[in-house]
């Protein structure tokens, strides 16, 4: 079986600074690939290159027609602070105009209901806003979802809920997820594969339990990392 996405010998420069060099990996349909690395290792840049927002050299091949959902890192309540938008408005500004029924369906999928439609997005709690964003990404039923640190700005409990929610949705909707995070526990729990990036342009790719050894983590993050490896997946 061919992978859904193949990245071969990727080279990305940002303002003449080399961010990625000779980066190769692949993602199969229905998998969760986590891109792990410290700040400045080029995780978001890599996502943007795959999404076609940033220029690159090398090959990025999609072996099947895909529809993409994208949640960038900086999209948070602060970025919509001055916008008089209710939840329905926020869904309406997506390119493919949604029917209200579809919006409600997406909201219910993430544990919100139709009463949220008329709520101002700035008045939602951090957790509710993050759930709404997930619904927003999923509303037009994408086949591949790119999530760039989706738990930034919400507490640990909220983050846990979000990942377990995503995992459930993935099984239900047959989603392929490409996730950027620096939360190692998430990698063990939910990722099929992990791509680790370091500031020194080292990279590794493989199944988390095999490649994420303490030595490897130290070389990625540049310090000893304490972590807890979960034996069982949370259902």
Partner 1 sequence: MNLQLTISLISGLLISSVSAYLGTLMLSKRMSVVAGPLAHLAFPGVALAIIYDFSFAFGVFPFVIIGAIMIWFLERKTKLPMENLTAVIFAIGVGTSLLFLPIAKAEEALVGSIMQISVWESLMVFVLSLLVFVTVRYIYKTMMLINIYEDIAEAQKINISLYNLVYLLSIAVIVAMGVYLVGGLITVASIAIPAGASRNLSKSLSEYKFFAVLFSCIGTTFGILISLVCNLPTGPLIVVSNAVIFLLSLVYKMSRKY
Residue 14 within binding range of partner 1, rule CB under 8 A = no
Q: How far is CA 131 from the centre of its chain?
A: 13
Which residues on adjacent β-strands are paired with residue 147? Answer: 71, 179
Handedness of CA 72, 76, 78, 80 (dihedral sign): positive
User: Which of 1, 17, 84, 231 touches partner 1 by CB under 8 A?
Assistant: 84
Residue 173 within binding range of partner 1, rule CB under 8 A = no
Determine the Cα–Cα distance for residues 32 and 181; give it in Å rounded to an integer. Answer: 12
Q: Going by C-beta distance under 8 Å and a sequence separation of 6 or more, which residues neighbour residue 80? A: 90, 121, 122
Residue 93 within binding range of partner 1, rule CB under 8 A = yes
146-160 core/surface letters (b: 16 or more CB in 10 A; e: else) = bbbbbbeebeeebbb
User: Which of 51, 60, 165, 211 touches partner 1 by CB under 8 A?
Assistant: 51
Residue 79 within binding range of partner 1, rule CB under 8 A = yes
Q: How far is the CB of 217 from partner 1 (least distance, A)?
A: 29
User: Which of 92, 155, 171, 218 touches partner 1 by CB under 8 A?
Assistant: 92
Binders in 95-134 for partner 1, by CB under 8 A: 95, 118, 120
Site string for partner 1, 144-163 (x = CB under 8 A): --x-----------------
Residue 9 within binding range of partner 1, rule CB under 8 A = no
Handedness of CA 184, 189, 190, 193 (dihedral sign): positive
Residue 13 within binding range of partner 1, rule CB under 8 A = no
- Nearer residue to partner 1 within complex by CB, 93 or 234: 93
Q: What is the CA radius of gyration of the chain?
A: 18
User: Which of 14, 60, 75, 165 touches partner 1 by CB under 8 A?
Assistant: 75
Stretch of 22-30, 81-89, 176-184, 197-205 lying at the interface with partner 1 (CB under 8 A)? 81-89
Determine the Cα–Cα distance for residues 38 and 175; give it in Å rounded to an integer. Answer: 26
Residue 37 within binding range of partner 1, rule CB under 8 A = no
Which residues on adjacent β-strands are paired with residue 71? Answer: 147
Neighbours of 6 (CB within 10 A): 15
Determine the Cα–Cα distance for residues 202 and 91; give it in Å rounded to an integer. Answer: 39
Residue 70 within binding range of partner 1, rule CB under 8 A = yes
Stretch of 92-100, 161-169, 186-194, 214-222 lying at the interface with partner 1 (CB under 8 A)? 92-100
Q: Which residues bind partner 1 (CB under 8 A)?
A: 48, 51-53, 68, 70, 72, 74-75, 79-80, 82-86, 88-89, 92-95, 118, 120, 146
């Amino acid at each position: 079986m061919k992978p859904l996405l193949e990245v071969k010998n990727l080279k990305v420069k940002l303002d003449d600074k080399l961010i990625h060099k000779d980066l190769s990996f692949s993602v199969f349909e229905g998998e969760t690939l986590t891109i792990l690395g410290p700040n400045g290792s080029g995780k978001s840049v890599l996502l943007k290159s795959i999404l076609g927002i940033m220029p690159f050299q090398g090959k990025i091949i999609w072996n099947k027609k895909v529809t993409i959902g994208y949640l960038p890192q900086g999209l948070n309540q602060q970025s919509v602070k001055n916008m008089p938008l209710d939840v329905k408005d926020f869904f309406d500004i997506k390119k493919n105009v949604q029917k209200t029924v579809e919006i409600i369906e997406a909201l219910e999928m993430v544990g919100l209901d139709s009463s949220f439609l008329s709520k101002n997005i700035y008045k939602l709690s951090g957790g509710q806003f993050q759930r709404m964003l997930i619904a927003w990404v999923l509303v037009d039923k994408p086949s591949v979802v790119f999530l760039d640190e989706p738990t930034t700005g919400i507490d640990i409990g909220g983050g846990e809920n979000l990942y377990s929610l995503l995992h459930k949705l993935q099984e239900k909707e047959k989603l392929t997820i490409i996730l950027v995070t620096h939360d190692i526990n998430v990698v063990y729990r939910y990722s099929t594969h992990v791509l680790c990036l370091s500031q020194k342009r080292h990279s590794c790719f493989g199944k988390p339990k095999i490649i994420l050894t303490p030595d490897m983590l130290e070389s990625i993050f540049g310090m000893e990392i304490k972590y807890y490896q979960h034996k069982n997946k949370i259902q």
